[in-house]
Amino acid sequence: MEIFLHLWWRFRRSVRFAIRGLRHVFRRERNFQIELFVGIVVLFTVFLLPFTFFERAFLVFVAGFVLTLEIVNTALERLVDLIRPSIHPYAEVVKDLMASAVLLSSLVAVFVAVLVVIGRFF
């Protein structure tokens, strides 16, 4: 029983840290706010329109992936700023690469959404 309580306490602590990170990114990152708004629109849309379970699951997954990648982007940007506060060519490249990963995932998400909608209605 003691082990269970210890694991439960550690789990709750981890969740608290994760929620604190979500609050941080939501309050301070404009791109995350925009992507979250789009994700919420997608979430409502997939449950209002006649999509199959797998179409819904895939669209929700892709939207969640974009949000997750934006959080990773934010974390790496902060880490690079911490390690290299001055502008360094490699630091700039790391930030640009992460931004391009988020952009690419967003474009793929839009492409997937268009394919699913076209496949459903045409």
Which residues are catalytically annotated? 70
Where is 72: in which H helix or E strand?
Answer: helix 53-83
Which SS3 state, helix, strand or coil, does residue 49 take? coil
Do residues 72 and 98 make contact, with C-beta atoms less than 8 angstroms apart? yes
Q: Which residue has the tokens 């819904």?
A: 56
Radius of gyration of the chain, Cα coordinates, nearest whole angstrom: 18
Pair of tokens at residue 67: 């949000």
Q: Which residues contact 81 (CB under 8 A, 6 or more apart)?
A: 91
